[in-house]
Chains A and B, each alone.
Chain A
């Protein structure tokens, strides 16, 4: 168990003694025969769940089972944006809760996740869009978040390089959330992993779940590539692969898996002040601390489990970038990658019990899972520990589709490829 406490003093002391005292951040234990809690999935949400379950809810005997290595999936494949600029009452309080956890997480788990509140700008091109963003901003203020409507001149002051007079989408203003920003994606996973490990959580890697053992409607444990492991409660947090894991329990989910691509340019001097979204052109961009422009657009739009996309969306994103900020054409692309999204039917996630006693589901994050990592972990831990939903997550029910209580942020219905 790592007992190193990170501080400026420690960095100086290590620098003077040849960096011999760091050690690994977490143990690499073998699985025990049984646990009170098993979390399937050692990604951001699974590790955050284990962290809050052990640290906040003081539960013991917890294991996280990961098929590959920790943080192998979407926590390492996103565009690192954190924000809480949602509209609907089922969503906004949850994401604002997440934003507040982001603001304190580094002190809480004593790890540098490089949380940087550099702000987000959602561009406005029409009067209708301004009305919609004004409404959204008011919804954000009601939920305790911050929001501000910017004029065209205020946007120009922040981002003089944008194409303000694009014939099709002239920039008329923006909605901004100044507390939004970016974080270091891997650092988040590592911080939660280390914080959970310090409380005795077993982080078991290279351990693929191959079956769920269910008798008389209750889960007893999981079959894995490293043998059977018993558990009182099993939480599934495997976004991208939720349908595959829940199929082991005989369940079909209101989810399709789709591929989302992202791109990063070569490192450049600081040019982009925060996060800029160009919703009308299906493009968003920020700049990493290393200098690379990190950008993306829409999902490819067909079912996929391949962690790579196709050229048409690549071209579409590049065209969006050129339309918004022509100077991006001078930057060279360094790499692109794809991640598998749990696209739920209404665009909103699921944190709920399942019809199987002791089996819990955290899924359906669409392309918005990264910003939700802390609240998702907290709310899922709350559900696992107390069997009641966290107050900000009480609308994220699995049965909402059957009962007609969908949370349709975009208002496009049961069409996962449009969310």
Chain B
């Protein structure tokens, strides 16, 4: 798989490490009254879709940026890649 890095162009997916669903960016509020339940769902439960999936990849052997890659899990086709810090704004 080749990941179209927004700054560096097409890079081999081997340069990256994979974290998982991009929903991991939305960390729950630890001070909220339902924090235990929210963190259980955040930590353990996944949508795990067959099809389009937004996911976090870390360019460990490159510029060490976090990307949100949109990829089809049934074909491995990569549809988009953006910098996570811009998406998180």
- Please measure, in the bound complex, the distance between the C-alpha atom of A418 and the C-alpha atom of B85, giving whole angstroms: 25
Known: A310-B13, A312-B13. A305 touches B73 (CB 8 A): yes
Chain B contact residue count (CB 8 A cutoff): 26
Total contacts A-B at CB 8 Å: 68
A325 to B74, CA, bound (A): 35
Question: Are A253 and B73 in contact, with the CB atoms below 8 A?
Answer: no
Once bound together, how far apart are the Cα atoms of A257 and B37, in whole Å? 23
* Of B19, B43, B75, the contact of A306 (CB 8 Å cutoff): B75
Interface string of A222-260 (1 = CB under 8 A from B): 000000000000000000010110010000111111000
Bound together, the chains give a CA A408 to CA B64 distance in angstroms of 29
A contacts with B: majority SS: mixed
Q: Are B47 and A252 in contact (CB under 8 A)?
A: yes
Closest to B46 in A: A256
A243 to B46, CA, bound (A): 8
Q: Which of B46, B50, B55 contacts A302 (CB 8 A)?
A: B55
Interface size on A, as a range, is: 20 to 34
Give the distance to chain B from A408, nearest Cβ to Cβ, in Å.
12
CA–CA, A97 and B39, complex, Å = 35
B44, B45, B53, B73 pick with most chain A CB within 10 angstroms: B44
By a CB distance below 8 angstroms, the chain A residues around B71 are 302
Q: Tell me, yes or no, whether A401 is within 8 Å of chain B by CB.
A: yes
Residues 299-310 of A, flagged 1 when their CB comes within 8 A of B and 0 if not, give 001111110001
Nearest CB in chain A to that of B19: its residue: A417
* A402 engages B40 (CB within 8 Å): yes
Which residue, B40, B53, B73, has most C-beta atoms of chain A within 10 A? B73
CB atoms of B13 and A305 under 8 A apart: no
